[in-house]
Structure 1
Amino acid sequence: MARVSYVRADELESEYEDLVVSSLQPGKAVNVYSAVATNPPVLKGLRQFLGSLWSHSGLSDRQRELVILTAAHEIGVGYEWHQHVNIARNADITDAEIAALARDDREPFAEDEKAIIAYARAVVRGRVTDSLHDAVVEYVGEEATVGAATVAAGYLGLGRVIDALDVDLEDGDDFVGWDPR
């Protein structure tokens, strides 16, 4: 059970109502946003921040989801992992690849993706080396490398909020599992 109340859209001032609803699942309020809505201005800033990571990281959808799933698994936040498995599937990441991420098995991935995954893990662990950074820059350029670092760190932060507030999966959802096959 969450450590804070989930705030419904109809309990918020009009400028915040839409912020508890998933942008990917129109009409569906998600618990992480409903929990953070206990502080509406923080929710607004969080959604703006995450939206900028989503839209302007310089990564492809597939690369972005590899980074997010890597961060979620690295810190063991099932809620975040669960939310992004279907998004990853829509970004052409197979269930076998998702399961490989959970095992830290990079074999199924292309060399650029292996570097991005290693980089995301290093960002989450606080252990980025010059050679790892340079390898990612070589594959995706500086702008997207900054995007990868920021996405990994941003979802690390979101995962810590989810953990601190003990956010539950939405009613009716069963955890997809670390291996969704």
Structure 2
Amino acid sequence: MRLPPLPADQWDEATQQALSAMRGADTNNALSTFAHHPALAKAFLRFNVHLLMASTLPARLRELAILRVAHRRDCAYEWTHHVDLAKDEGITDDEIAAVPCFAGEGAGHFDDFERTVLTGVDELVDKSELSDQTWAALGERLNDQQRMDFVFTVGCYTLLAMAFNTFGIQLEHVAQER
């Protein structure tokens, strides 16, 4: 762990205000790590809350995309936290298990459009761009705002995976065991 979570009893008023964007969220290792930089936390969390709460992207597609990002970026923290959110959106355990191998043996768990969404994640992660074919295929069910929210969701959670992995943010149950 390079940047340990800052205990809540050490948060000043600016930190509490910065983290208030995640109202109702349990204090976790990610938020407690963001507490080291209140101004950045405030700016970032406002954007992140939009993607989680106000995005035009259907929640099921959002969570499939985030799980794929977490897998591609080898981010256990992001994966673990979004498995529960995915289940809340009706994504089954079998579908979750298939996200890492959606193009191979897991292909049968997703419809053609969901496979396009997962392919789009891979294109954005690999090339920082959607192909014309994927952009058009996404446009068969998503409007321009939804496609924009998709791109920003993948980008945001790629950034989060980089931060979580770099800072060494640990799962709460792992941190408690130490």
TM range (shorter): 0.7 to 0.9
Which residue of the partner structure matches residue 147 of structure 1?
Answer: 149
* Residue 18 to residue 28, structure 1, CA distance change in 2 (3 Å): farther
Q: Which range is displaced more, 113-122 or 145-154? A: 113-122
- What is the CA distance between 1:56 and its match in structure 2? 3.1
- Once residues 146 and 168 of structure 1 are traced to their aligned partners in structure 2, the CA distance between those partners, rounded to angstroms, is 31
Taking structure 1 as reference, are residues 97 and 27 closer, same or farther at Cα in structure 2, changes over 3 Å only?
closer
Contact 1:66–1:88 (Cα < 8 Å) also in 2: yes
Which residue of structure 2 aligns with residue 179 of structure 1? none
Partner of 1:16: 15
Closer/same/farther in 2, CA of residues 79 and 22 from structure 1, 3 Å limit? farther
CA contact (8 A) 2:48 2:156 kept: yes
Write out per-residue CA displacement over residues 13-56 of structure 1, whole angstroms, 9 at most, x where no aligned residue.
Answer: 224326558948x4631111211211111111121111111123
Which residues of structure 1 form unaligned runs of 5+?
Answer: 175-181
Aligned to 1:118: 119
Amino acid at match of 1:136: L
TM-score (norm 2): 0.87
Q: Which residue identity is paired with 1:88?
A: A
8 Å CA contact 1:20, 1:37 repeated in 2: yes
Please tell me whether the aligned partners of residues 112 and 136 of structure 1 are also in contact (alpha carbons under 8 angstroms): yes
Looking at secondary structure, tell me which structure has more helix per residue.
Answer: 2
d(CA) in 2 for partners of 1:82, 1:20? 21
Superposition CA RMSD, Å: 2.2
TM-score (norm 1): 0.86
